[in-house]
Structure 1
Amino acid sequence: MKDDYTYHKYYDEVVVLLETGLRTSELCGLTLTLNMKKGY
Structure 2
Amino acid sequence: METPAFLATVFVWSLLLSLTGYSLYMGFGPPSQDLRDPFEEHED
Larger radius of gyration: 2
* Both structures adopt the same fold (TM-score exceeding 0.5): no
TM-score scaled by length of structure 2? 0.29
Bigger fraction of residues in helix: 2
Question: Relative contact order, CA 8 A, sep 6+: which one is greater?
Answer: 1
